[in-house]
Structures are given as structure tokens and as C-alpha cells.
Amino acid sequence: MILSDERSEDGKFVRQEDRFRNWVTRDGASGYLAEPNRYHLYVSLACPWAHRTVIIRKLKKLENVIGMTVVDPIRDGRGWAFRNGPEHSEDPINGFQYLSEAYRATEKDFNDRVTVPVLWDKKTGRIVSNAEDDIMRMFNSEFNAFTDSQADFYPQELRAAIDEVNDFVYPNINDGVYRAGFATSQEAYEGAVRNLFDALDGLEERLNNQRYLVGNQITEADWRLFPTLIRFDAVYHGHFKCNVRRIIDYPNLWGYLRALYQHDGIAETVNFDHIKRHYYVTHTDINPTQIVPIGPNLNFSSPHGRDALKYTSFSVST
């Protein structure tokens, strides 16, 4: 449910800021020491922001270090709920019925929109963070003592380039689809859609000669873009009226998306049942019939043809 203060007078969607931005650190200097079985991740498999944290948790092999509970993809006026169902469950940590209880346990007067993901501290009984980009980076580096994966998706030497890409992709693509879908004026909608497809066209051109967005390795930038691309043709193209083109219509982006999907462990983080039921059933102002489409039928496992590409450079400037 979008709050009234997330809509501007000219019909634009303006996303609320993340409320909780504490950090878990390997030395505990932040007040939150990285240690196994202390923290728990609350997510929705439908949500692209939460999906990012699920991916890094998987790739960093932290499943036995940080627990995870998935909420019901169907969200009503009471917010994200813990219910037993296909690949979602009741809350085994606190017995919460709704995620809003975690927010109010942390800040009793919290009255903004309740979002996922949430990183919960079992020791202090409060939310550490609801900022998915921060959580990704915590998982990337602060729990290395408890995993045999030393993969680094935010390496020091590439951070400036990754940040540049993220600053371009987030407003135009990640949030761009929401700015289009939640717009309440024609002008706001058209502006968001033009920015979205200009950005996608730019990435299509740049992926013509390089395999990933930054450098010659997969980085955080790729895993921030992936959850939006994987949902695009199934949801954003129709439901959010982002229908100028589909991802499958972009040869390079379509191959890039399939290459990321085929990366070890990633396919099992994608749940199209949760994705489609959440958007089409929850957003009754956009889809009042709550009918969930049966398509599209896309083969993400087909050969992607990206292996031979060599890194050249990346710049978001035109």
C-alpha cells in the first residue's frame, strides 16, 4: 500500500526513505557484532529489493549463519503477513503475525509503510536494518569469518565504478518501473517510462561488448539490476504499463539476464508464483479484478551466448 506522502502533487511516486540504517560489523564497533545465528532475515520472494539480499546470502553461503523467513506474497491493508503456504511460513523467531510488529517492537510509534527486507537482531530484539543495499554489503563482507565463500561483490578497486552504475540504474530502472506503475498523472507516467527505456537502451548498447556492468566479473551492480530484469516481462511490462519493449526484445539484455539466472544458486532464488500473485493480487488499484496472468512462457535456461564477451569499459555518460 502506497502512503499519501509518497505521491507528489503532480502525480509522481516518491519512495519513502529507509528508516533503520544500523550496521553489523565484524569487530562489533557498530554495536552489532557479526556472529552466527544471531541475525534473522525477513523477506518476500516477490519483492525485488528483498530478492537482492536473498541472492547475496545464497552466494556468500550464509544460509547456516543467518536464518530467513519468507512472508506471504499476498499483502493486504495490514501489510506483510506470516502465514503457512507454498514457500512461505509463520514466523519461527518471534511469533509475529505481521511484519509491522517487528517495526513497532523497534520503534513503538512507527507509522510509515512497512517494507522488506528486514534484518532482525535476535539478541536485542530489534531491527538492525531495512535498507537492502546496506544488508547486501553486510552479507558481502562482515560475515566472512563464518563462510568458506570469499567472493567479493563490492571490491575496493571497483567501488567507484559500481557506485556510478548503481546511481544510474536505481532511479531510472530499479525504481523507474515503480515510478511508472504508481504514477497518478499521464505526465508523470510518460516521464518515468521514457527515462526507463532510455536507460535500458543504454545498457543494451554497453552490454554489446562486455559481459557484466562493471569490470570483467560479476559485482553488486549486476545483482542489483537482476531482480528488476527478471520481473520485467512477467510483471512490469503489463502491470506497470512499461510496454514499449520487453527484455526479451533486447538481445544483449536478454542474454545477460539468462547468464545471471544460470549462475550457480540463482534460479532457486526466483519464485514467479510469489512474484505474479503479489503484484496482480495486491495492487487492486491497478488490477481490481486480481486476475493473475498465466504467461509469459520464457526459457531462462536456454543458451545465453555471453561467455566469449570481453570487458572493455563502462560509463553511464552518453
Active site residues: 47, 178
Report the 10 Å Cβ neighbour count for 224: 26
Q: How far apart are the first and last CA of the chain?
A: 36
- How many angstroms separate the CA atoms of 151 and 56, rounded? 10
Report the 10 Å Cβ neighbour count for 14: 13
For residue 258, give the DSSP letter: H
CA-to-CA dists, residue 262 to 136, 268, 302, 308, angstroms: 20, 10, 9, 16
**Helical H segments across 90-158, by residue range:** 100-106, 132-141
Q: Does residue 115 sit in helix, strand or coil?
A: coil
Which residues lie closer than 8 Å to 294 by C-beta, 6 or more apart? none
Strands of the chain, DSSP E = 39-43, 67-70, 118-121, 126-129
Burial class (CB in 10 A: 0-12, 13-18, 19+), 145: exposed
- How many angstroms separate the CA atoms of 120 and 159, rounded? 27
Q: How many CA atoms lie within 13 A of 116 on its CB side?
A: 28
